[in-house]
Amino acid sequence: MTTPSGPVVPPGAAAPVAAVVDGLNVDAVAAAVEGCAGVAGLDGGRYGEVATYLPGRVIPGVMVSGGRVTVQIRSRWVPVPGVAALITAVLAPLTGSRPVDVLIADIDDPPADLGYAPAAGGTDLAAGPLA
């Protein structure tokens, strides 16, 4: 089975228009952030507190308020300051002079090929205290 690309529009319904909030296309912001290396996905927060609410849809992880742009992501297992700096740089042409706040909501588990193990005497949260 194949999945259609792009938004699915029911027959007879109008295609969704670009989501512009305070002159900023939040669909473009979301796409730019999701395309950044080190970003596993946008994250709207536990209660959807970082999101843009539009008629009939929600864009999680992107919020425009008070002249600022806030994006909240789940990062891959990479140096987080680099991811935040990349997002800020990628968004600069879209956001203009608006400040961009990058929130890291979570970090993915390390890849298995890293051979990650907690330090001796540390705690592996899944297995309990190590001997």
Phi, psi dihedral angles at 89 (to 5 degrees): -65, -40
Per-residue pLDDT tens for 83-93? Answer: 999 999 999 99
Classify residue 51: in a domain, yes or no.
yes
Per-residue pLDDT tens for 97-109? Answer: 999 999 999 999 8
Cα separations (Å) of 25 from 76, 91, 97, 120?
A: 25, 11, 15, 49
Contact 71, 87 (CB under 8 A): yes
Classify residue 4: in a domain, yes or no.
no
User: Which range of residues forms the domain containing residue 47?
Assistant: 39-111
Classify residue 130: in a domain, yes or no.
no
Classify residue 93: in a domain, yes or no.
yes
Total structural domains within the chain: 1
Q: Which pLDDT does position 111 carry in this prediction?
A: 82
Contact 113, 104 (CB under 8 A): no
Q: What is the pTM of this model?
A: 0.75
